[in-house]
Structure 1
Amino acid sequence: MAEASLHRLTQELEQRVAERTADLSKALHELQQTQIQLVQSEKLSSLGQLVAGIAHEINNPVNFIAGNLIHIDEYTQNLLEFIRRFEENYPDPSPPLKHYLEEIDLEFLKQDLEKIVSSMKLGADRIRQIVLSLRNFSRLDEAEFKAVDIHEGIDSTLLILHNRLKSKPDHPEIQVVKEYGNLPAIECYAGQLNQVFMNLLSNAIDALEESATFKELNAESSQNAACPPAHPTITIRTEVAEPDFITITIADNGPGIPEEVRKRLFDPFFTTKPIGKGTGLGLSISHQVVTEKHRGSLWCVSEPGRGAEFWIKLPIHQVPVQATAA
């Protein structure tokens, strides 16, 4: 009788322990998710406000310069026309004037002045394009689902990352190959998806920069010009995969990802980067944005030595769900 009671008591204790463990595991998971959402919200809000603020501050002086360049171009043409007519009416200037014209090289000035004004107009237009890209990336005014051009978001992100793609003294330029399909406008939280693109592209750049092949590319190319190693490349593909879905693939030809690491890529706070360089939240937040906020899918295909491919699958049309992050 005592043995039966002890057995029953043991079972009850084991059940309580199991239930308590399950409750604690659930509470821990919810705490992690809440922490991720808070970090995500803070990161998106801070980055969006920073980018939007920079775009606003740049936009005002650029508009001032671009507006005045219209008048400068007109005045330049008028002055050049005046010089042309002056030369027609006074083909034989006085010796002092002739000496001065030779000294300033009038013919060169006439040609170069037009080139300078044209270059200034191109520069102003380029800055305005950058400002537009920064605004497209931040998307602070779009807190609800909106149909957008996904390619604009990707291009805006690439523009922001342009400095990391350029060649440096210790490594060559990272080439970006864009294989864009004919996509319809996608209903999404544009600012959050742009952050996903930023995370995936930044990770691809990190992988290429840290690979031995990348670092030794220049040395190997000079020693084996007949058969140079593959150039560091990021390839971005988009297509309509099914009638109601699109896919976005961001692939690199870096060192690849071991299976044991690939399985944990989207775990909160998991990172293989050195302390201070990675938080372990970028891919976790990206996975949450794609799967929970957009009801899509995000996965990785990779093998050591064969690079890595991150796949995003998104529905073209969405039923809005309440967003917990800005």
Structure 2
Amino acid sequence: MGITSCGTGIPARHISNEADFKEADIHEGIDSTLMILEYRLKAQTYRQEIQVIKQYEKLPLIKCYAGQLNQVFTNLLFNAIDSLEEAISQNKDIVPTITISTYMMENIISISIIDNGKGIDESIQSKLFDPFFTTKPVDKGTGLGLSISYQIMLEKHHGRLWCDSIPGKGSKFVIEIPTTLS
């Protein structure tokens, strides 16, 4: 078995760690991440296909660390899929859905990844971005994905990553990236 990225099970060669600061298309990054995760979105013997709804607004190209930003998308989408699978195990009537929305407000690009999974209990939401904190079983996660994603957004992109969740209803993770990063 090869090296995997952040406990996602995805071979690291598919997630670029490129240090290049370059102009990139956010939608292209999200779409390529979805293509890599397609195997997890497809119908399984125990559940139907996870629906992905894309609500993209027109965005400018932005200078960023594209490979690291794609790692953030991968971590958030992987967690959304895990949450949906757990919710389905408790309620087979759920139509598993991930909605990805993008829009621009002033000089900030906002990307929302919303799932209708199990949600996150309010008592642990403040710990989500702490290193090694996980709600997953030991063999399923390392507790590093959200922590690394938070660092990438804050330190590399001078942006924000935050979560809004309602237990039993789902979670919304929001990435905010300034377009004037230099």
With normalisation by structure 2, the TM-score equals: 0.90
1:272 maps to: 135
Q: Which has the higher helix share?
A: 1
Q: Deviations over 1:155-179 (max 9, x none)?
A: 0000000010000111110000000
Matches within 5 A, 1:166-177: 166-177=42-53
In 2, distance between residues paired with 1:310 and 1:247? 10
Deviation at 1:138, TM superposition (A): 2.8
Percent identity, aligned pairs only, is: 57
Matches within 5 A, 1:1-326: 47=12, 50-51=13-14, 138=16, 140=18, 143-211=19-87, 213=88, 216-217=91-92, 229-242=93-106, 244-319=107-182
Q: Residue type of the partner of 1:274?
A: P
Q: Deviations over 1:129-188 (max 9, x none)?
A: xxxxxxxx5374xx2321110111100000000010000111110000000010000110
* Conserved 8 A contact 1:214-1:232: no
In 1, distance between residues paired with 2:135 and 2:145? 12
**Unpaired runs of 5+ in structure 1?**
1-39, 52-136, 218-228, 320-326
Give secondary structure in 1 for the equivalent of 2:137.
coil
* Conserved 8 A contact 1:254-1:308: yes
Give secondary structure in 2 for the equivalent of 1:298.
strand
Structural RMSD (CA) = 1.9
Structure with more relative contact order (C-alpha pairs < 8 Å, separation 6 or more):
2
In 1, distance between residues paired with 2:180 and 2:22? 10
In 2, distance between residues paired with 1:265 and 1:216? 24
Give secondary structure in 1 for the equivalent of 2:175.
strand
* Conserved 8 A contact 1:171-1:215: no
Q: Residue type of the partner of 2:26?
A: I
1:209–1:265 distance in 2 versus 1, CA, 3 Å: same
Q: Deviations over 1:236-258 (max 9, x none)?
A: 0000022x111000000011111
* Conserved 8 A contact 1:179-1:236: yes
With normalisation by structure 1, the TM-score equals: 0.51
Residues paired across the two proteins, number: 175
Deviation at 1:301, TM superposition (A): 0.4
Deviation at 1:261, TM superposition (A): 1.5
Q: Residue type of the partner of 2:116?
A: N
Q: Deviations over 1:239-293 (max 9, x none)?
A: 0022x11100000001111111111100111011111211110000000000111
Q: Residue type of the partner of 2:16?
A: S
Q: Deviations over 1:280-324 (max 9, x none)?
A: 1000000000011100000000111221000000011212xxxxx
Deviation at 1:214, TM superposition (A): 5.3
In 1, distance between residues paired with 2:105 and 2:113? 15
1:230–1:210 distance in 2 versus 1, CA, 3 Å: closer
Give secondary structure in 2 for the equivalent of 1:274.
coil
In 2, distance between residues paired with 1:230 and 1:179? 21
